[in-house]
Amino acid sequence: MEYDLTVIIPVFNEEENLERVKNEMESFLKLAKKKSKVLFVNDGSQDNSLLIIKKICKETQGFTFISFDKNYGLSPAIKAGFDFADTKLVGYIDADLQTSPMDFNILLKYADEFQLVTGVRSNRKDSFTKNMSSKIANGIRRAFTHDGMDDTGCPLKIIHTEYAKRIPMFKGLHRFLPAMILLQNGKVKQIPVQHFERIAGKSKFHLWNRLLGPLSDCFAYLWMKKKYINYKVAEKKL
């Protein structure tokens, strides 16, 4: 079966959320504006997440998975999803479902014109501390990257796969996806999307890794930007 979009779902200890993820993704797949499938990336979960993922993929069409040998972190999980995607477009959503898979259809309206379309979480349902740390982190990142994005941490994105596969891997990658597309002379757009409270499982981020992580990653980005190689082939005979 030909698919147009692969939705990557990184998973680390999300056993309480996965049945809901299955149900909501199934609903999206039926109504998706482009033929879509799901790719779970199990990031070395230590609970029953992998067993549940295997059961879902065995019983449900359009669900696939890869599983790491240990926990590597969110950025490697997203990068692995890019590497294994075989569709023209690749999407990303968190397993906590604080964003809605249905909002992929909003992003897909712009996916032909823009190489990355990202959500901006409107009316965020997070705590004051989480919202403020996220706002500060986004301000720090914008000062370094000048990407013009208000909410790069929003876990709802669609990217042209050929661009996603050219993104070099480094920790903190997920905070710089728009900037990495701009480095490739791609176009980016942000669209308001829904946001919901986390109703199961635990957040993997806290105050310090929302602030100190982005700051140190910005210096890594500046070094990489200086060394980044970008080219276009004018003619070829292979």
Mean pLDDT of 52-75: 96
| pLDDT tens figures, 182-194 | 989 999 999 999 8
CATH code of 64's domain: 3.90.550.10
Question: What mean pLDDT is predicted for residues 24-49?
Answer: 97
Positive or negative CA dihedral for 182, 184, 185, 186? negative
* pLDDT number for residue 172: 77
Parent domain of 191: 5-227
Confidence (pLDDT) at 198: 66
3-state secondary structure of 85: coil
The predicted-structure confidence for 127-169, as pLDDT tens digits, reads as follows 555 655 666 666 666 666 667 777 777 889 999 999 999 988 7
Helices and strands of the chain, counted as H and E runs:
8, 7
For residue 5, what pLDDT is reported? 98
Band (pLDDT 50/70/90 cuts) for residue 92 is very high
Check pLDDT > 60 for residue 80. yes
**What is the tally of structural domains in the chain?**
1
Q: Is residue 113 part of a domain?
A: yes
pLDDT band at 126 (very low <50, low <70, confident <90, very high): low
Asked whether residue 210 is domain-assigned, the answer is: yes
Whether 16 is covered by a domain: the verdict is yes
Confidence of residue 10 (pLDDT cuts 50, 70, 90): very high
Complete DSSP assignment for 91-114: EEE-TT-SS-GGGHHHHHTTTTT-
166, part of any domain:
yes
pLDDT for 145 equals 67
Question: Is 215 part of a structural domain of the chain?
Answer: yes
**pLDDT recorded at residue 94:** 94
Range among 37-41, 132-136, 218-222 rated most confident:
37-41
**What is the structure's pLDDT at 130?**
61
Residue 101 lies in a domain: yes
Q: What is the pTM of this model?
A: 0.82
pLDDT > 90 fraction of the chain, expressed in percent and rounded: 59
Q: Is 233 within the bounds of a domain?
A: no
Does any domain span residue 238? no
Q: Which of 76-85, 90-99, 227-236 has the lowest mean pLDDT?
A: 227-236
pLDDT confidence of residue 206 = 52
